[in-house]
Structure 1
Amino acid sequence: MTKSLFAFFLLIPLCTAFGFSQTYVVSNVNVITMENEEVLENHAIFVQDGEIIKILPVHEPFDGDTFQEIDGNGAFVFPGLAEFHSHIPVAEHGDDTQLQEEAMWLYLANGVLRVRGMIGHRSHLVLRDKVDSGEVAGPRLFLSGPSFSGSAVTSPDQAVQVVKAQKAAGYDHLKLHPGLSMDEFLAISKTAKELKIPFGGHISLDVGLEASLKNGYKSIEHIDGYIEALIPDYSKVMDPKIAGPFSMLLVHEAELGKLPELVDLTLETKAWIAPTLTLFDRYFGSKPAEEYRDVPEMKYMSVDQVQHWINAKTPYEKSGVLTKENVQPYLEFRNMLLMTLHKAGVPILMASDSPQVFNVPGFSIHHEIELMSNAGMSNYEILKSGSINPAAYFGQEGEWGVVKEGASADFVLVSKNPLEDLKTLKKPLMVVMKGKIYDSDELNEQLDRIAANYPRD
């Protein structure tokens, strides 16, 4: 039977606790599909069994079953955000899952609906199954296995066996850390390509950026390796006392004439960039570590965890590395690299490296968004890096990361148009994950519960 939305559907307040069926409509919303920059004003999104089945103007008749209605009150809908470089907490014992479940809520409460874990553990596979089944609330999880590093890899043959084991275990991605020899790296690359499992991460100094790209790196984390590839005297790169953290002290020696060649190679090899700007701004920035202790979102972390982060940064401060004279040119250089790659068409993944130094899950993505904007990315391209791009990265375009018919019902409601105001992303009115609704009251209750687990004096 043909039905008119406002003539038939029961209006349910936006922030009411929801206990209704999997069939509903979110009406009176402005939809940003992310297929383009158009805003579909005053539309309704029909959801059935976790899938978007129809998007229509509010007053347009709809042929279909009875739907319960949620009045969106003019909110803006977009597909949500991503954290595509995370370190999901580990549960060493089967019942030691508190930190994992808290991280999942922190992501959801910040509108982060898709997460790529970048240092894996067998407990992450269990967590992913629980999230997929609905036992645990959380975003979509894409998992890397335990990382391949100079200390974890003992030979090319051993590396091959680990690649095979991680593929068989069900991991989605391989994470590479520094310290690999060229032979070890090539063994990993060859086997990963044969098994069709993507890999990426840091660039090992003995391998270098060019060889990493030419041999199949899918994602370059932290824009790693570009500065080093631009330094004419590579011996300086190899000496951490001369180079500083992530070659901070060498940016003034970079030969930019080679950058176009590296950009072309990145495009040619179809590599992606996960910039993690906020990691460098906070960990290697000139703001003193102690000043982060009372940043509001730190209340969702234990006192010991925050102290651990302070302890991680303090040695760089004491060594004199993190002066404004060193830090500012370095951060500006990284922004230049990001925008050069972005403007050339290299796809960007929204990523903040949480929970790493002073980057609290979920909250750190909003710091990343601000820094991406300051670097020069448009609001649409920033949103794209957290929606369309992550889906394309795993070859799942149209399945999620977009608000369209046939896609998973993964979306977020906010009060203002994020194409005009990115700050509105910080306060979701409602989060929908695979059709399940989390209203603002529930999200805030979960945040309060987590904060209560870590009381301060």
Structure 2
Amino acid sequence: MKIIKRILLGFLFILAMTMLIVLVLFLLDRSNTSYLKSKNIESTFTKEYLIKNVKLIPMSLDTILNDKTVHIKDGKILRIKDDFESQDIEIIDGQGKYLMPGLIDMHVHVWDRFELGLYLANGVTTVRNLWGIPLHLRIKDEITSGELLGPLFYTSSPKLTGPDDFGDDKVQLQSKEEAKKLINNYHERGYDFIKTYAGITEPLFDAIVQETAALNMDIVSHPSFQMTYSKNFIQQVATIEHAEDIVQQPLDFQMDTVKLDSVVRLMAVSKVNFSPTLSGFFNIYKMITDKAILDSDHAAYINPLFKLADTEAQVARWQGEKSRNPEVENRILNQHKFHLLILKKLHEAGVNIVCSTDAGIAMGAPGFSIHQELAHYSEAGLSNYEVLKTATINPSTVHKELKDLGSIEKGKWANLLLCEENPLTDLSTLERPDWVIIKGQLLHRETLDVFKNKARNRNNITSTAYYWVENLWIER
């Protein structure tokens, strides 16, 4: 009995210490990101105000509306006038600068709260997180309630794949019944979308389509090697991810322009929304060619645990591959150029392109990566207006949750950027907007720079590791 009692006491002691450590981690994590708490942010004009004297880029049209006044109330755009006077409403002078909708990144992976400030500092006012874990449900609730300041936050479920696609980063489904049960669970818990992954089988996919349709949830598809690529061309699939998967799947790893044309035509007829993540693939080329990439400025903003566990391993892998096979450098660069051609052809065919970066993976620095992605679209031959559409009004047509975003119009959310120069002629001005407005809350450049500085070279490996262990415990 004494031995059993000692074992029981020992177990209770370990349990108590574990709970204490978890509590400390939560408190430390929240303390370190307290600068993002709404109550701690110095901001003016949050309830009702006028922004006067701005050059308006509405994004609903390819135009600039000069000397406009925008009336914002309770986080939404109430009206847009040539002029408007009221003694009861505070007024901001836009100083003749350019006002446009905030940017939307449709494919990110968020690993901590520090990244929320990085997105805002780079003009990203909405993100779609596509690797859901329990942490993301808490972040979503904190932002929605107004407790935490961040971009509007939407998250997919954990990645759903088939029984033979192994890895602790995804959920392996064993049956259609399990798929339906999990989808209902994800819906009840607050995940916005369902993400299917590279190993999903056709019967499982069909079950997911049926259940999400019943629940009015969208599917985000990382195309599966277990079924034909065109299986994704259905209304229930809101977006298809990754340009490289067009090469790997319907083109069978060949950069074949004849086959590509047939795929593009079918995607256009099927009214596909496409999420290219060009910068994610191009980062492979950068990892191959830049030996000092881990010391770059952008590397300092990557979550330290994922930098240690993923980024460093990816750099070692690709630089090792180059030493074994020098031709890999040209192969990756040529495929990137083919991705640009894919984007150009899809755009010309009328496929809806939505800006997506794969930020949070390998060298994808949160927030910064959107500027690289937009530069690729420009390189592919899109005009600056067409480039900006991919990160503003195009995403607003994809999900019902995004319909009040992406343009400056009456009734839409006041998610806005004020820029010194005209982004229709110079996309680089978006890298440092003078103001970012998120649901009516105005943030000056000084505040945005604080967000960047706080996240640079952060040391939160332990708390990130806890969130991942929590994910494995709950979702597996």
Measured after TM superposition, the shift of residue 353 of structure 1 is: 0.6
What amino acid does structure 2 have at the position aligned with 1:122?
P
Q: Paired residue for 2:107?
A: 85
Q: Paired residue for 2:319?
A: 317
**In proportion to residue count, which structure has more helix?**
2
Indicate if the aligned counterparts of 1:145 and 1:174 stay in contact, CA closer than 8 A. yes
What amino acid does structure 1 have at the position aligned with 2:59?
M
Is 1:362 equivalent to 2:363 in the alignment?
no
Gaps of 5+ in 1: 1-15, 90-98, 232-236, 238-249
Measured after TM superposition, the shift of residue 396 of structure 1 is: 5.4
Q: Paired residue for 2:78?
A: 53
1:33-432 equivalence runs, <5 A: 33-57=58-82, 60-62=83-85, 66-89=88-111, 99=112, 101-150=113-162, 151=166, 152-214=172-234, 216-223=236-243, 225-231=245-251, 250-252=253-255, 254=256, 256-285=257-286, 287-288=288-289, 290-301=291-302, 305-307=306-308, 308-320=310-322, 323-395=328-400, 399-432=404-437
**TM-score when normalising by structure 2:** 0.80
- Change in 2 beyond 3 A, CA 1:319/1:20: closer
Indicate if the aligned counterparts of 1:80 and 1:401 stay in contact, CA closer than 8 A. yes
What amino acid does structure 2 have at the position aligned with 1:282?
N
Measured after TM superposition, the shift of residue 259 of structure 1 is: 2.9
Distance 1:21 1:115 in 2: 21
Indicate if the aligned counterparts of 1:17 and 1:439 stay in contact, CA closer than 8 A. no
Q: Paired residue for 1:5?
A: none
Aligned CA-pair RMSD = 2.3
Measured after TM superposition, the shift of residue 170 of structure 1 is: 2.1
Indicate if the aligned counterparts of 2:156 and 2:191 stay in contact, CA closer than 8 A. yes
Is 1:444 equivalent to 2:470 in the alignment?
no
Map Cα deviations across residues 345-369 of structure 1 (whole Å, 9 max, x no partner): 1001111011111111100111111
Q: Which moved more, 1:217-226 or 1:140-149?
A: 217-226
What amino acid does structure 2 have at the position aligned with 1:315?
R
Alignment partner of 1:418: what SS? coil
Alignment partner of 2:414: what SS? coil
Distance 2:457 2:315 in 1: 27
Indicate if the aligned counterparts of 2:244 and 2:281 stay in contact, CA closer than 8 A. no
Distance 1:428 1:79 in 2: 12
Q: Which moved more, 1:290-299 or 1:79-88?
A: 290-299
Aligned length: 408
Q: Which moved more, 1:267-276 or 1:130-139?
A: 267-276
Q: Which moved more, 1:219-228 or 1:315-324?
A: 315-324
Overall identity of the aligned pairs, in %: 27
What amino acid does structure 2 have at the position aligned with 1:75?
K
Indicate if the aligned counterparts of 2:384 and 2:424 stay in contact, CA closer than 8 A. yes
Indicate if the aligned counterparts of 1:284 and 1:313 stay in contact, CA closer than 8 A. no
Indicate if the aligned counterparts of 2:102 and 2:416 stay in contact, CA closer than 8 A. yes
Measured after TM superposition, the shift of residue 195 of structure 1 is: 2.2
**TM-score when normalising by structure 1:** 0.84
Q: Paired residue for 2:28?
A: none
Measured after TM superposition, the shift of residue 81 of structure 1 is: 0.7
Alignment partner of 1:145: what SS? strand
Distance 2:266 2:176 in 1: 26
Alignment partner of 1:73: what SS? coil
Map Cα deviations across residues 192-241 of structure 1 (whole Å, 9 max, x no partner): 2232211122211121201222584321111254224444xxxxx5xxxx
Indicate if the aligned counterparts of 1:289 and 1:314 stay in contact, CA closer than 8 A. no
Distance 2:418 2:338 in 1: 35
Distance 1:174 1:306 in 2: 27
Indicate if the aligned counterparts of 1:199 and 1:218 stay in contact, CA closer than 8 A. yes
Measured after TM superposition, the shift of residue 387 of structure 1 is: 1.1
Indicate if the aligned counterparts of 2:240 and 2:272 stay in contact, CA closer than 8 A. yes
Distance 2:413 2:234 in 1: 35
Measured after TM superposition, the shift of residue 130 of structure 1 is: 0.8
Indicate if the aligned counterparts of 2:286 and 2:293 stay in contact, CA closer than 8 A. no
Distance 2:192 2:297 in 1: 34
Distance 2:339 2:254 in 1: 9
What amino acid does structure 1 have at the position aligned with 2:99?
V
